[in-house]
């Protein structure tokens, strides 16, 4: 079972990136998904979460209105669309999965993690 996050890169303030998380060994429509990030010198924090049904979504206050979580079950891929990026969004972004029971916001609730993809926002 493996999660592969990609799509990070260097972008200027105000720019956009779309992160992808591809799964092998699990089907996303059975799993709750979370995106987390860890900035240099800081603890990992939650960014966005979606329930296995896709019916419930939530966002950290710092990204609400700028980021959108979504999924494509046919491609078994989850996305995090990030718009209006700010230097404070610079971090390694991780996707994580846990067998679906509902919206999960705590990183301790997730069993499977991708390797992370680096997002750097320049000012």
Give pLDDT tens digits for 28-83: 889 999 999 999 999 999 999 999 988 899 999 999 999 999 999 889 999 999 99
How sure is the predictor about 20, in pLDDT bands with cuts at 50, 70 and 90? Answer: very high
E strand residue ranges, 7-101? 9-12, 17-24, 31-38, 45-50, 57-59, 67-72, 77-82, 91-99
* Cα distance between residue 89 and residue 58, in whole Å: 17
Please give the pLDDT value at position 100: 83
Give pLDDT tens digits for 72-111: 988 999 999 999 999 999 999 999 999 988 888 899 999 9
Please give the pLDDT value at position 42: 97
Please give the pLDDT value at position 1: 83
Give me the mean pLDDT over the 13-33 stretch. Answer: 94
């Amino acid at each position: 079972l493996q999660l592969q996050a990609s799509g990070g890169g260097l972008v200027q303030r105000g720019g956009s990136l779309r992160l992808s998380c591809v799964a092998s060994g699990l089907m996303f429509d059975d799993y709750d998904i979370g995106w987390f990030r860890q900035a240099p010198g800081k603890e990992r924090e939650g960014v966005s979460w979606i329930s296995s049904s896709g019916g419930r979504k939530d966002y950290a206050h710092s990204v609400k209105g700028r980021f959108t979580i979504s999924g494509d079950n046919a491609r078994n891929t989850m996305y995090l669309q990030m718009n209006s990026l700010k230097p404070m969004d610079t971090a390694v972004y991780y996707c994580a999965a846990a067998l679906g029971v509902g919206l999960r916001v705590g990183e301790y609730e997730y069993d499977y993690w991708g390797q992370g993809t680096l997002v750097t926002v320049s000012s």
